[in-house]
Amino acid sequence: MDSIIISGGSKLTGKVKISAAKNSVLPIIAASLLCPFECKLEDIPFLDDVYVICDVLNSVGANISLNKKSNRISIKADNITSIEPPYELVRKMRASFLVIGPLLSRFGRCRISLPGGCNIGTRPIDLHLKGFCALGADVRLGHGYVEAYCNKLKGAKIYLDFPSVGATENIMMAAVLAQGETIIENAAEEPEVVDLSNFLNSMGANIIGAGTDTIRIIGVKELKGTTHQVIPDRIEAGTYMVAAAITQGSVVVENVILEHIRPVIAKLQEAGVTVIEEQNKVKVVANGVPKAVDIKTMPYPGFPTDMQAQFMALMSIAKGTSIITETVFENRFMHVTELKRMGANIKIDGRSAVVEGTAKLTGAQVKATDLRAGAALVLAGLVAEGKTEICEVHHLDRGYVNIVEKMQSLGANIQRIQKE
């Protein structure tokens, strides 16, 4: 298992280009199952999670070709041979569950293992299933599997108890080929939902309102192939913005959609960090130690839960005390124990963490417990005194393209080492 070694203390400077959004690419690849024609995706980030969803599609018979040189993927689902992706693949990644909507909608059947809990909580799928049932599917649970059947899905009005990103996407994919109109109320408004809707509309779907809390889908008979460019990754962008702030550096983060990173910009500015907005890029300059600010994670357009751990690393060295409240996931404070090993002063009180800024963090051996926890440890390592060794870095490979090389190009003293 590889580790990342960081010698802290370098101020990051220079430019970094953000890759396409992992959380857009995964549902969009799943959505390519909705038609038998070729779908081409551009600017693909070749991350571990992307390989997993490609393997899932392959396992049901889709033809996928990856071109790593041009960052393109082409998918043709004209010969689907199975409606049951294997458990060994599905258990690797929760987002594999996103194939149920397209398979059910196009083929009237899907059998898939239930995603288990993960490090950030139990993460149920009841809202996905409630949506499929409302569309007329017969959904059964048993032996760790979900089986869903239908003759033809029928449009319905579906109210989500929580604006779940995955449930909104799965129901949207199921509804595009349903008979009649579907309305999803209290839908997730995340940019990745909008990107998926744009992709589906370019295939010939009829979806209105993605990006608001009410999405209207008028079912169509069939979809066609398309070419789509995926939006930039707002979480990767936010992570490099915090890297500039935590090291008191000056970094231009390129290939961003400013509107998508508004909550991160706002919180950095509140912390006293200068953020200069230009077209498709931001310059983040920190002169001095940031001030403590309170954070509360919320569904979009609120502060993203996927940036909570990284901001906690920043608040660990801020002036003052910050209260960080996690409202989206029930157990997303795994990084706290590891940050404390580096000298952070953090106390958990229910769904909040009280972070008292300390003058310095110190390098330590720490463990990445999930993707964003890993990112938080990289950020903490950049500013810590001495050497930080992060193990279990395979979590980072799920969501950050070339993080070591990108950080190195900004002047960080960071390397990846292979361990037996």
Q: Which residues contact 313 (CB under 8 A, 6 or more apart)?
A: 242, 246, 335, 339, 344, 376, 377, 379, 380
x/- binding map, residues 170-189, to ligand UD1, per CB under 6 A?
------------------x-
For 272, the 3-state DSSP assignment is coil
- Say whether residue 88 binds ligand UD1 (CB under 6 A): no
Question: Do 171 and 197 form a contact (C-beta atoms < 8 A)?
Answer: no
For 139, the 3-state DSSP assignment is strand
What token pair was written down for 46?
A: 């070749």
Q: Strand 321-325 to strand 295-296: parallel, antiparallel, or no bridges (unpaired)?
A: parallel
- Whichever of 309 and 414 has its CB closer to ligand UD1, that residue is 309
We find the least distance from the C-beta atom of residue 21 to ligand UD1, in angstroms, to be 9
- Say whether residue 230 binds ligand UD1 (CB under 6 A): no
- Say whether residue 162 binds ligand UD1 (CB under 6 A): yes
Site size for ligand UD1 (CB under 6 A): 22
Question: Do 369 and 392 form a contact (C-beta atoms < 8 A)?
Answer: yes
Tell me which of 35, 54, 118, 391 is the catalytic residue: 118
Q: Is-catalytic flag, 118?
A: yes
- Whichever of 240 and 300 has its CB closer to ligand UD1, that residue is 300
- Say whether residue 414 binds ligand UD1 (CB under 6 A): no
- Whichever of 89 and 292 has its CB closer to ligand UD1, that residue is 89
Cα–Cα distance, 225 to 74 (Å, whole number): 10
Report the residue from 328, 339, 382, 396 that binds ligand UD1 according to the rule CB under 6 A: 328
- Whichever of 193 and 317 has its CB closer to ligand UD1, that residue is 193
CA dihedral 171, 173, 178, 180 (to 10 degrees): 70
We find the least distance from the C-beta atom of residue 63 to ligand UD1, in angstroms, to be 23
For 141, the 3-state DSSP assignment is strand
Report the residue from 306, 370, 389, 392 that binds ligand UD1 according to the rule CB under 6 A: 306
CA dihedral 186, 191, 192, 198 (to 10 degrees): 90
* Site stretch for ligand UD1 (CB under 6 A), options 51-59, 60-68, 99-107, 164-172: 164-172
Report the residue from 8, 85, 155, 166 that binds ligand UD1 according to the rule CB under 6 A: 166
The DSSP-derived string for 80-126 is ---S---HHHHTT-GGGGGGHHHHHHHHSEEEEEPP--BTTB----H
Report the residue from 23, 182, 197, 198 that binds ligand UD1 according to the rule CB under 6 A: 23
**CA-closest candidate to residue 168, choices 217, 121, 205:** 217
Cα separations in angstroms, 98 against 146, 168, 319, 387: 13, 10, 42, 40
Cα–Cα distance, 217 to 175 (Å, whole number): 7
With CB atoms as reference, the residue minimizing the distance to ligand UD1 is: 166
- Whichever of 240 and 329 has its CB closer to ligand UD1, that residue is 329
x/- binding map, residues 111-140, to ligand UD1, per CB under 6 A?
----------x-xxxxxx------------
- Say whether residue 95 binds ligand UD1 (CB under 6 A): yes
Q: Which residues are catalytic?
A: 118
What is the binding site for ligand UD1 (CB under 6 A)?
23, 26, 94-95, 121, 123-128, 162, 164-167, 188, 192, 305-306, 328-329
